[in-house]
Structure 1
Amino acid sequence: MELEVRHLRALCAIAEAGSLRKAARQLGMSQPSLTTQLRRIENALGAELFARERTGCRPTPLGHSVLSRARPLVDGMATLVAETRAAADLAGGPRLRIGSTASRALGGWLRRLRGRLPGTDISLHMDVSAAVLLRMVAAGRLDVAFVHEVEGCPLSVPEGLERRVLVEREPQFVSMARDHPAAASPVVALADLAGDRWVVDPTVDGEWDGLRRVLVAAGINPAVLHGDYLTAATLIAVGEAVAPCQPTSGPRDDMAIRPLRDDPLAVRLQLFSRPGTAPAGGERPAGIRSLVDEVYADLEAAYREAALRAVGYRQWLTHHKSPWLHAPAA
């Protein structure tokens, strides 16, 4: 077996994710397929590259040596592909490539951008992993990325990216069945949920670590289910679990959304770009705001729209006298 770039990319993904499951999701493949691929790579080299542990995968000394040589090759290939695509884009008209983790502001953001940039092909790439999106921006495969960073779990940001903070600390609410006893209160304490199972998606960067830190600090040790939030919604609606959620979450007849007392869970919302970002295949006329200024302005307006549309979050913002209640002066 000869090692190819895709094999090296898989090794780098496993090392960065720390587990085969997370790496497989980032690579868009199943965990069994990635496990088989790793076994073939190790068989070809005649040694283990990762030590399989209960908490994940850790590079062996030989693994570290291989990774030190693999990363420059993978990064170089990503740069080559990005530069080739950028050159091809020059003849195809301007494009704006957006990456984002999940957000209720996305619809309003895209609507505003299409009105602001007529004739620009605007694409959206969604991923649960902020780290994956940031690497895509650094490699030139995305122009901007809107991501969340779980409090206490800082993101690994590639060198050279520019950061704009949209919300320094967005509180995370909790979702529960509409008939949950705690739903009768406008604000819920973590202690009121100590007997519930919590659902968390461990493939979302920092999500499980951030929740675990908060639960430990509250002195509770509830049962935890690992799964995606689409499945979680079904479990929550029938009273089988509760879960953290964005404060902009919309209402449902079978589910209640409530803020947590003292806001122990929070994320930072940020927009990342490369210096001098312009639409692929387009140029910015002199004397006007940069593209990122315009993209950020539309994101800010879309987020405010989503925040004020969510009744519970609007009440939270009012209670805290948040500046998000008022649009900035033109």
Structure 2
Amino acid sequence: MRARAPSYPRGMELEVRHLRALCAIADTGSLHKASRQLGVSQPSLTTQLRRIENSLGAELFSRGRTGCRPTPLGRSLLSRARPLVAGMAALVDETRAAAARTGGQGLRVGSTASRALPGWLRRLRQRLPGTDIALRMDVSANALLRSVAGGQLDVAFVHEVEGCPLRVPEGLDGRVLVDREPQFVSLARDHPAAARPVVDLADLATDHWMVDPTVDGEWDGLRRVLDAAGIDPPLLHGDYHTAASLIALGEAVAPCQPTSVPREDMAVRPLRGDPLAVRLLLYARPGAPLDTLYAELAAAYREVALRAAPYREWLRRQGTAAELPVGPCMMTA
């Protein structure tokens, strides 16, 4: 009698990216090797696997000193996942080829989270009338860069956490938008440290810090800075939408972009010495109008930077407001 296929909880939705991650773990036999293959951090992949297993209610891999091995349930799931992953890859390739044959005018934009994004898209639509502009958001800068290299995107605006270099595929054209953008901290409006214009890391040593481990380099970058400061605050893992609610209640603090706009219940402050920073980068496939894309992005970024009072004040103190991006800037090593 043929064995029945495993039954998964109703409402569980496994996306192709989840199946691709499971196949990579099985193929490499290691979370570390799989994370390198997928271009994500190991904590991010570990968290993703844990969420998948929690949703299914069973372990898919057994972990040991020799690595990760599929459980019987994992082998059953993988036997059905591999054809789906291969089929989706073939579908993407065929669709891309068909789109190229139509000769339609379009621009496929990828981006990590940025407050400059709405203004950039608005400017691009004004600058390139008649162009069909499609947007893809992703927390993984490495995934976006792979998509540009693979032809699924034309351009990607990404950030690189200081000390955690991105894996940039060969053949892409790049520009540096901001070589070192300081990361600020968001905290409750009534937090004692919010009364000062600049916050010391030591003032937040006992606060819960919230970080999203799925963002490339975010966890490693924050951990490195906290270790260098000699503090070991409690850490929470979660997305930044959830973080905003906890921060407003005084339950957590979190790194944030300097372009963040303060709210009535939340303050945004720079950190003394600017220990946290990212590099803002624009990459495009060969043949894309990179100078035009960069110029409109630079204008949009400058607009949001000067609109955010904490960042504007920081720029004034540094005397670097005039150094905000305004035009083409070639990629540096």
Q: Specify if TM > 0.5.
A: yes
1:69-117 deviation per Cα after TM superposition (whole angstroms, max 9, x unaligned):
xx9xx89984873364243354262110001000000010000000011
Counterpart-to-counterpart distance in 2, 1:58 and 1:162: 37
| Contact 2:178–2:325 (CA under 8 A) maintained in structure 1 | no
Aligned-residue identity in percent: 65
Deviation at residue 271 of structure 1 after TM alignment = 0.7
Q: How many residues align?
A: 288
| One-letter amino acid of the counterpart of residue 298, structure 2 | E
| Matched ranges for 1:159-174 at <5 A | 159-174=170-185
Counterpart-to-counterpart distance in 2, 1:99 and 1:136: 9
**Counterpart residue number, 1:213:** 224
| One-letter amino acid of the counterpart of residue 114, structure 1 | R
**Counterpart residue number, 1:300:** 298
**Counterpart residue number, 1:236:** 247
| One-letter amino acid of the counterpart of residue 154, structure 2 | D
Deviation at residue 163 of structure 1 after TM alignment = 1.9
| Contact 1:318–1:325 (CA under 8 A) maintained in structure 2 | no
| One-letter amino acid of the counterpart of residue 310, structure 2 | G
Secondary structure at 1:81 match in 2: helix
| One-letter amino acid of the counterpart of residue 319, structure 1 | R
Change (3 A) 1:247 1:75: farther
1:124-158 deviation per Cα after TM superposition (whole angstroms, max 9, x unaligned):
10011111111111111111111111001111122
> For 2:104, which of 93, 99, 103 is the aligned residue?
93
> For 2:150, which of 113, 135, 139 is the aligned residue?
139
> For 2:48, which of 22, 30, 33 is the aligned residue?
22
Counterpart-to-counterpart distance in 1, 2:263 and 2:212: 21
Q: Does 1:11 align with 2:37?
A: no
Change (3 A) 1:193 1:316: same
Counterpart-to-counterpart distance in 2, 1:200 and 1:135: 24
Secondary structure at 1:191 match in 2: helix
Secondary structure at 1:297 match in 2: helix
Change (3 A) 1:169 1:99: same
| Contact 2:295–2:327 (CA under 8 A) maintained in structure 1 | no
TM-score by length of structure 1 reads: 0.77
| Contact 1:199–1:232 (CA under 8 A) maintained in structure 2 | yes
| Contact 1:75–1:139 (CA under 8 A) maintained in structure 2 | no
Counterpart-to-counterpart distance in 1, 2:325 and 2:159: 23
Change (3 A) 1:317 1:192: same
**Counterpart residue number, 1:65:** none
| One-letter amino acid of the counterpart of residue 237, structure 2 | H
| One-letter amino acid of the counterpart of residue 194, structure 1 | A
Change (3 A) 1:299 1:327: closer
Secondary structure at 1:12 match in 2: helix
| Contact 1:78–1:139 (CA under 8 A) maintained in structure 2 | no
| Contact 1:82–1:139 (CA under 8 A) maintained in structure 2 | no
Change (3 A) 1:304 1:86: farther
| Contact 2:298–2:326 (CA under 8 A) maintained in structure 1 | no
**Counterpart residue number, 2:274:** 263
Counterpart-to-counterpart distance in 1, 2:119 and 2:227: 37
**Counterpart residue number, 2:237:** 226
Deviation at residue 275 of structure 1 after TM alignment = 1.8
Q: Which runs of 5+ in 2 are unaligned?
A: 4-15, 26-30, 70-81, 329-333
Change (3 A) 1:211 1:58: farther
Q: Does 1:191 align with 2:202?
A: yes
| Contact 2:157–2:280 (CA under 8 A) maintained in structure 1 | yes
Secondary structure at 1:247 match in 2: coil
Counterpart-to-counterpart distance in 1, 2:174 and 2:325: 24
Counterpart-to-counterpart distance in 2, 1:326 and 1:205: 24
Counterpart-to-counterpart distance in 2, 1:101 and 1:210: 17
Counterpart-to-counterpart distance in 2, 1:20 and 1:120: 40
| One-letter amino acid of the counterpart of residue 111, structure 1 | R
Q: Which runs of 5+ in 1 are unaligned?
A: 40-47, 61-70, 278-290
Counterpart-to-counterpart distance in 1, 2:169 and 2:56: 25
Deviation at residue 318 of structure 1 after TM alignment = 1.6
| One-letter amino acid of the counterpart of residue 208, structure 1 | W
**Counterpart residue number, 1:317:** 315
Counterpart-to-counterpart distance in 1, 2:227 and 2:271: 15
Change (3 A) 1:135 1:31: farther
Deviation at residue 237 of structure 1 after TM alignment = 0.4
